[in-house]
Structure 1
Amino acid sequence: AAIAALQAAGLRADGLARFFQRMERDDVRWVKFLSSHPATAERRQRAQQPDTGESAFTAAEWDAVQAMCTR
């Protein structure tokens, strides 16, 4: 659903692949939280498909978001 929503909005979904890779490394913490979702590996594979949409943030905007998260 998340990939479809991003694509419907004309946004790239491939960033989710990196998120799912992180989840796979530490899957135990996420199992209970996301137990109603498809397997992480399956979602990562879907997110890695070629994407033609735009990025949700410019590089500068993404840097600003990351800076806010590390405070």
Structure 2
Amino acid sequence: MKAAIIKNFGDKTELQVVSDYPVPAINDDQVLVAISATSVNPIDYKARQGLLSGRFQWQFPVVLGWDVAGEIIA
């Protein structure tokens, strides 16, 4: 799947768009969405900069893009 990821906190040079990111496995209380549209939200650049690292315990690489629209496929 295509994804915008970071492998480290930092400036805009840390952002990568990859087309071969693995489709995540989902749990019983989650859904998988085929995304039709997304946006860049302030939470995305704050996450990239590491400003939210105290609130979340992310494991790199981190997939950015929290605002999405699409179809639930699983």
Determine which structure has the larger strand proportion and give its number.
2
TM over 0.5: no
The two structures have a TM-score, normalised by structure 1, of: 0.29
Determine which structure has the larger helix proportion and give its number.
1
